[in-house]
Amino acid sequence: MNQRKSYKREMWLEVAGESVRVLISASARKTMRLQITEEGEVDVRVPFHCNQGDVLAFVNANHSWLKERRDIACERLQQREGKVMILGKERVITPSALDSFLVTDQLVWVPEGWDTAKVDKAVDRWLRAEGRLVFEQLIDQWWPFFSNFNVRRPTLRIKKMRTRWGSLSTRGYINLNLALMQLPLDLIELVVVHELCHLKHFDHGPGFRRLMTECLPDWQQRDKQLNHLSQNVL
């Protein structure tokens, strides 16, 4: 029996008088889903059986939501230009006469003449390397406690995720969002501990909450801060 393969297409729609790129991904899902990328593009996830007319009808039915969320995404994009948030602190991207990329406590130095794409790529590469150090150090810090549950230490994977800060897979991976590197260290710790607690409790029931309180007595206050910041980062 032949299985249908996932595919991606693109189309252009007019939103509030502006031509907007729409990315369409079809897979063996049952429902349609609409979201906005960091660049303000429209991302539509659809089942195989949907045709272009179905997609257009779905997007048009959500036009008001689409315009509102896209305005927010574009505003964030403008605010980020020339600046980058690292561990809760804003650093200004500054041209340098030196032919090297350097991150300091207040500035991100880039060689003169670099375009936005090259700067973004360098920042992304630096954040991944630094993020691996930060995330691994937090896992190291907490592993003596979680190793008492006779569980295997998960392998760290750093990913770009649009809807969650982290996840723990049954295949032995702890997946952490690269965007965590924008947050203060205490909120990164919250996410790391949250995912490690799933080694003992894979749901968010009373046992999970008790374990979170044992590890981080103020975790609920931190969680409120995280939820607030999620509106500006995710």
* pLDDT tens sequence across 21-61: 788 988 888 899 988 877 677 889 999 888 888 888 888 88
55 lies in some domain: yes
Residues 174, 153: contact at Cβ < 8 Å? no
Q: If you average pLDDT over residues 202-228, what whole number do you get?
A: 96
CA-atom Rg of the chain in angstroms: 21
Residue 60, domain extent: 7-79
Question: Mean per-residue pLDDT for 62-81?
Answer: 74
H helix intervals, 10-62:
52-61
Question: Does residue 56 share a domain with residue 134?
Answer: no
Which of residues 79, 109, 141 is at a domain's end?
79
| Residue 32 structure tokens | 């349609």
Q: Comparing 199 with 82, which gets the higher pLDDT?
A: 199
Query: 61 vs 58, 189, 201, CA distance in Å?
Result: 5, 40, 40
Both 226 and 137 in a single domain?
yes
Question: Would you call 99 helix, strand, or coil by DSSP?
Answer: coil
Q: How many folded domains does the chain comprise? A: 2
**Residue 102, CB-side half-sphere exposure with 13 Å CA sphere:** 13
Would the pLDDT of 129 be above 90?
A: yes
Confidence bin at 203 (pLDDT 50/70/90): very high
DSSP, residue by residue, 125-194: HHHHHHHHHHHHHHHHHHHHHHGGG--PPPEEEEE--SS-SEEE-TTSEEEEEGGGGGS-HHHHHHHHHH
pLDDT tens across 131-185, in order? 999 999 999 999 999 999 999 999 999 999 888 999 999 899 999 999 999 999 9
pLDDT of residue 76: 64
- Alpha carbon 212 to its chain's center: 22
The answer to whether residue 97 sits within a structural domain is no
Q: Residue 1: what pLDDT?
A: 44
Indicate whether 56 belongs to any domain: yes
- The verdict on 150 and 227 lying in the same domain is yes
Residue 84 belongs to some domain of the structure: no
At 171, list the tokens: 């295949």
Mind listing the pLDDT tens digit for each residue in 74-125? 766 655 568 899 999 989 899 888 888 999 988 999 998 888 889 989 999 9
Strand 89-96: give its sheet, edge to edge.
83-86, 89-96, 107-111, 102-103
> Which uninterrupted H or E stretch holds 84?
strand 83-86
Q: Which of the listed residues 64, 79, 94 is the one where a domain comes to its end?
A: 79
Do the domain assignments include residue 167? yes
User: In this structure, are residues 174 and 166 in contact, taking their beta carbons and an 8 Å threshold?
Assistant: yes
Q: How far apart are CA 36 and CA 73, in angstroms?
A: 7
Mark whether 166 and 69 lie in a shared domain: no
Distance (Å, whole) CA 17 – CA 38: 20
